Amino acid sequence: MPKMKITFLILLIGCSALGQVKDKEQEKEQEKALRTSKNLTWEANQELAQNEFVNAEANYRKAIAKSDKNTVAPYNLGNAYYQKETYKEAFSRFKEAGEMATDKKEKHSAYHNMGNVFMKNKEYEKAVEAYKQALRNNPNDEETRYNLALAKEMLKKQQDEDKKNDKNQDKKDEENKQDDKKDGENNKDNKGDQKDDKNKDKGDEGDKGDQKQEENKKGEGDKKEENKNKPEQGKDPSEQKEQQQPRPNQLSPQQVKNLLEAMQNEEKKVKEKIDAQKAKGVKVKNEKDW
């Protein structure tokens, strides 16, 4: 048993020593990576100063990839993007620097620049919060304090403008609502007028129908009267004349014919009587003596 304890203890000591060795090696590697990252950052700074943005951006990215302990690389790359007015990428790098930083001074700088990006984007409420976070890490920075006051003032103006716009919008909506209501009433009146016009048209159509019916009746009457005056089809006009009824105080054609025949017969009788007397001779008148 004692031998086993001694062996176990030796193993523990050996593992601890081995772990320490590994930790030291890791520390050395991290230190080496950090040095390389800082060297790349220095090169990028020089290239950026010479307006070689593409090369500078590439070296800043390499520096960031080499070590997460180098907060200067993302911060400087953020500044480079900010100068190019590429604010979305700038904000991303400032945020990365603020999260990586362990030093309050570095955190202050990162949040201060994040506030500047929000100001450029007119996101004043977010800018106020960023400047406040910067002052928590460095309460004595006057530039950040000034920027915070400016952000608050701009936020107030923005809120007042939004309220004014909301009121104007509400007023406009109310006016549109009133206009819609008015249009609805006008449409209702127009529909009523159209209905009256339609009924009037129907009345006119009815009058036209009555007029047409009256004309039809008149036409039928005229047609009947015309048919009455026309001779019947298939009959002799002379026969139809005989069938006509006599008018008041007038002789019918038949009566006139009969009367003429009667006169002719009477005249014939008188003539025959005169002719008979001529055949007997002339009577001698007896004169008387006085």
Nearest to 75 by CA among 103, 101, 43: 101
Please write the tens of the pLDDT for every residue from 80-128: 999 999 999 999 999 999 999 999 999 999 999 999 999 999 999 999 9
Please write the tens of the pLDDT for every residue from 189-213: 666 666 666 555 555 555 555 555 5
Q: Check residue 51 and give its pLDDT.
A: 94
CA atoms within 13 A on the CB side of 280: 6
Task: Name all contacts of 148-156 with Cβ < 8 Å and 24+ positions apart.
Answer: 148/115, 150/119, 151/115, 151/118, 151/119, 151/124, 151/127, 152/124, 152/128, 154/119, 154/122, 154/124, 154/127, 155/124, 155/125, 155/127, 155/128
Q: Check residue 153 and give its pLDDT.
A: 97
Please write the tens of the pLDDT for every residue from 218-234: 555 554 444 444 444 43
| 171 confidence band (pLDDT: 50, 70, 90) | confident
Please write the tens of the pLDDT for every residue from 46-85: 999 999 999 999 999 999 999 999 999 999 999 999 999 9
What mean pLDDT comes out for the span 177-188?
A: 75
- The answer to whether residue 248 scores a pLDDT higher than 70 is no
Does the predicted model carry a pTM greater than 0.85? no
Cβ–Cβ under 8 Å, residues 9 and 1: no
